[in-house]
Structure 1
Amino acid sequence: MRDLRIGRRAVLGAGFALPVVHAAATMARVAPADTDEVFWKGIAAQYDVPSDVIQLENGNWGAMPRPALAEYLRLVERVNRDTSYYARRGLVGDLIAAKADLAIELGVPAEDVALTRNATEALKALILGYNRLKAGDAVLYADLDYDSMQACMESLHARRGATVIKIALPEPATRQSLIAAYTAAFDAYPRMRLVLLTHLSHRTGLVIPVREIAAAARARGIDTIVDAAHSWGQLDFVLPDLNCDFIGLNCHKWLGNPLGVGAMYVRRPALDRIDPDPANDATMRDGIHSRVHTGTVDFAAQLTLPAALRFQRSIGAARRAARLKMLRDRWVSRVRRLSQIEVLTPDDANLHAGITSFRLHGLTSDAANAALARRLLERYRIFTVHRSGVTRGACVRITPGLFNNAEQMDALAAAIEDVASKPPTA
């Protein structure tokens, strides 16, 4: 599946085509590929970005590359022009084809995938629809999980009578310490039935070993729901690599699709563990589509999926992941040696992707880190964002995108070095 995905040629319109990246060549040339600045300059040219700042806050959502934007605008015109004449005659078939293309990229059967408006909607449907909880059963989440998903897990106390457990993930983290943090909680609560795992944290960028933790959970009779909102597209994997039954993700962060498209995956044998959405009537109770109800959506955004996928396939998943890690490593390698700086993801390549957060030593408040992000913008014209909710303290998140380059990461490192030499007060 992955070889076909990476090796597919994509002609992107407007006379622009990117070179084919075959799987074998990608695996053999990861190091050169991530620093091939001629190639990446061509990729960057396909994005329109702000000219007055270095944009290093690409985690909220991702900019569409020009081929996807052009296709989206074309589809907006069509949907606006033909409205229900198209919706009641050809739209459904086109949406099925778009979802099938997405499923190929995800490495799973199309019938196990439902389109949503975002990862939050997908994960909300999975968490609140999970029906194997009895009063007194326990559920687990961590401090680095997304706020809305934490709230959904907390609501299971009132909804299902569940005991809700929250853990703080280790900092600094190792693969073994992460596995140990979850398994210790599993063993401390014999009635644990459900765990939420965030594959790649939006707060710090930490990547956790989902497959190993989920296997430990399964051995104890615990189901796993995976938040892959940030990992899919940053890391090189397909959903079966995680070996989990329930996954939520989106397509407008790292795929470069228009805003308003996500996906929910439920492995077919596990479908009965998620209740149908009550908004679906009795004729729509079967299949994964019955587990979520979105109402009317931006059809043009969903129909743009094949164009966004073509663009990403022309780069290749392994090459994209290597580039994002290289951009991250470029600035981290310079600032990690500073005693005043705490980098919140380890250098273990399996535990980070492109996102990484940092804080100044001793400055852990939201206010201090919001001020630091402002300082980076106002003094150095580098746009970042502060993140709260980490047990050991707030931080500033750095999120490079495919249009960023090594020189911009060097500028960030220099700015952090300058800030560290004369830090603000807490």
Structure 2
Amino acid sequence: MSTKSDRRSFLKNATLLAGGAFSAQSIFNQAYGAIFEDLSAKYNAFSPSELAVQEDYWSTIQQAYSASSAPVLNLNNGGVSPSPMLVQQAVERYNQLSNQGPSYYMWRILDQGREPLRERLAALAGADPEEIAINRNATEALNTVIYGLDLSSGDEVIGCHYDYGNMMQAWRQRQEREGIVYKQLDFEFPIEDDDFIVQAYKEAITDKTKIIHVTHVINWIGQIMPVQKICRMAHEHGIEVIVDGAHSFGLLDFKIPDLEGDYFGTSLHKYLSAPIGSGMLWIKKEKISKVWPLLCNGQPKSENIRKFESLGTRSFPIEQGIGEALNFHNGIGAKRKEERVRYLKNYWAEKALKIPGVKVHTSLKAPYSCAIAGVSVAGMTPKDLETNLFSRFQIHTVAIPYRSLSCVRVSPHVYTRPSDLDKFVRALGILAAEHATQNMEEKGA
């Protein structure tokens, strides 16, 4: 009797879990519903920029992340952001459920949660749900488009030397295999002139140009590119635009169609804080049929966006954990999140600029950067700086020794405290002073 009762109880709970992220039984509602209601009532009168400096509000957000109390200070959220604990808990619950009977619970229970998830992602994106495909990361999303578009030998694609590495490699592979022409622009960032950037792409266009590939936020250095202006210019010349939104979606407050691109791919495990290994593809509805799926599908020329989800067996727990990340993100609000993270970036960068021997390689003006900034210390290579920050101060950054860039990339998140950034600035000061003294001694010798 007890066994049958336990089984009925488990099946009931499994059904609730399957749609739980968007129901009253969601982990977010249970753990944070009342808390966010209280925060909203208390801070509703604050504008996003005013709220950005209200530490009492953000301390609640910080406590939701286990990373906020980790022994290592993570300032490489631009690589992969940690998830709030409720997202981690959701993935664990769905994983436990799946392992009770994988083929049943994954395909017949959890798989039913994809359509509500598609609708919620579309709402955040400002898009039609029929334009949204759920996948594993920006590389998969954008490679789907890069390899899925019909191009012929001699057709030109314009990109930039500062696009993401996997995207550049994908275009180079098409160039090597099919004879397309892949042209890359060079820039000296930071640039605080949209028209200069747009003009550079315009001047590269010829009558053979078919595609412009543009990165919304340059991952190397944090430059925000004038995507909408580039798209409008490109469309005037009959050229399609692929937008890499890996570092913008879930951070900047925008709607994908407002960028006016034709294709958009992103990783959800960056600033949306969704489970690691989650991504999203957006294709303008009337263009879906012309894109071949990256993986085989029975109807490759279909107008159905789901043809891009033919992945076979996937991680349903990760996929469904995205829902709780959306709940948490929406509980904060997109514009509030953007203003807070930009405030944190400027908080440390403005202090760092006052340290002799320290250089910031990113614009601090709002239209041109948000979370990511590059910093260097005179006399230290990027790898030396990264290594010293980690080994001596337990601060994780990433070295960027790439083309004209020579710095470490720093990217805080909503769980980062100003006191954490004070620690980082102190470390920069110590290292800069040490190397200034060392340089003086070497000159004296």
TM-score between the two structures when normalised by the length of structure 2: 0.85
Please give the alpha-carbon distance, in whole angstroms, between the structure 1 residues aligned to 2:390 and 2:208.
48
SS of aligned partner of 2:212: strand
> Does the 8 Å contact 2:131/2:282 carry over to 1?
yes
C-alpha offsets along residues 216-256 of structure 1, whole Å, 9 cap, x if unaligned? 11111211111111111121112122111100012111112
Partner of 2:31, secondary structure, is coil
User: Is residue 119–residue 229 contact of structure 1 (8 Å, CA) maintained in 2?
Assistant: yes
Q: Helix, strand or coil: the match of 1:401?
A: coil
Matched-pair contact (CA < 8 Å) for 2:288–2:303:
no
The one of 310, 319, 343 equivalent to 1:326 is 343
In the alignment, structure 1 residue 180 sits paired with structure 2 residue 199? yes
Cα pair 1:250 1:261 within 8 Å, conserved: yes
Is the aligned partner of 1:383 residue 2:402? no
Instruction: From the superposition, tell whether residues 27 and 388 of structure 1 become closer, same or farther in structure 2 (CA, over 3 Å).
Output: farther
1:73 aligns to what SS in structure 2? helix
- Cα distance in 2 between the residues matched to 1:159 and 1:273: 20
What letter matches 2:413 in structure 1? G
Matches within 5 A, 1:68-87: 68-87=87-106
1:53 aligns with 2:72: yes
| Aligned counterpart in structure 1 of residue 427 of structure 2, from 380, 392, 415 | 415
Q: Secondary structure at the match of 1:14?
A: helix
| Unpaired runs of at least 5, structure 1 | 1-8
Structure 2 CA distance for aligned equivalents of residues 224 and 284 of structure 1: 20
Cα distance in structure 2, aligned partners of 1:172 and 1:85 = 52
Report what 1:128 is aligned to. Answer: 147
Distance 1:17 1:119, change over 3 A: farther
- Structure 2 alignment gaps of length 5 or more: 1-25, 440-445
Listed one character per residue, the Cα deviations across residues 186-235 of structure 1 (whole Å, up to 9, x for unaligned) are 3xx33211111111122111111111111111111211111111111121
> What is the 5 A alignment of 1:304-315?
304-315=321-332
Equivalent residue number for residue 33 of structure 1? 51
Structure with more helix by fraction: 2
Measured in 1, the distance between the counterparts of 2:32 and 2:223 equals: 39
Please say if residues 198 and 208 of structure 1, whose CA atoms lie closer than 8 Å, have aligned partners that are also in contact: yes
Equivalents in 2 of 1:17, 1:237: separation in Å?
27
CA drift of 1:329 comes to: 0.3
Which residue, 357, 374, 377 being the options, matches 2:387?
374
Q: Residue by residue, what CA displacement relative to the aligned partner does 1:99-151 show, whole Å, maximum 9, x if unpaired?
A: 211111111111111111111101111111111x2221211111221111010
Contact kept? 1:274, 1:291, Cα under 8 Å: no
Secondary structure, aligned partner of 1:13? helix
Counterpart CA distance in 1 for 2:379 and 2:158 is 29
CA deviations 1:45-101 (Å, max 9, x no partner) are 111125323221212211111121222211111111132223443333211111211
Is the partner of 1:413 in helix, strand or coil?
helix
- Give the structure, 1 or 2, with the largest relative contact order (CA under 8 Å, sep 6 or more): 1
Aligned 8 A contact 2:345 2:371 in 1 = yes
Do the aligned partners of residues 246 and 281 (structure 1) sit closer, same or farther apart at CA in structure 2, a change above 3 Å counting? same
So what's the TM-score if we normalise by structure 1? Answer: 0.89
Which stretch shifts more, 254-263 or 48-57? 48-57
Larger radius of gyration: 2
Task: Give me the whole-angstrom Cα distance separating, in 1, the residues matched to 2:355 and 2:191.
Answer: 19
Whichever residue aligns with residue 140 of structure 1, its letter is I
Q: How big is the alpha-carbon RMSD for the aligned residues of Structure 1 and Structure 2?
A: 2.4
The alpha-carbon distance between structure 1 residues 15 and 120, as it changes in their structure 2 partners (threshold 3 A), is closer
Kindly report which structure 2 residues correspond to 1:214-229, keeping only aligned pairs within 5 A, or say none: 214-229=231-246
Q: Which moved more, 1:334-343 or 1:321-330?
A: 334-343
Structure 1's consecutive aligned runs of 4 or more residues displaced over 6 angstroms after TM superposition are none
CA distance in 2, matches of 1:195, 1:284: 23
Q: Is the 8 A contact 1:233 1:254 kept in 2?
A: yes
The corresponding residue for 1:344 is 361
1:368-417 Cα deviation digits (max 9, x unpaired)? 2111111112222221111233x313320101011111111122222223
SS at match of 2:404: coil
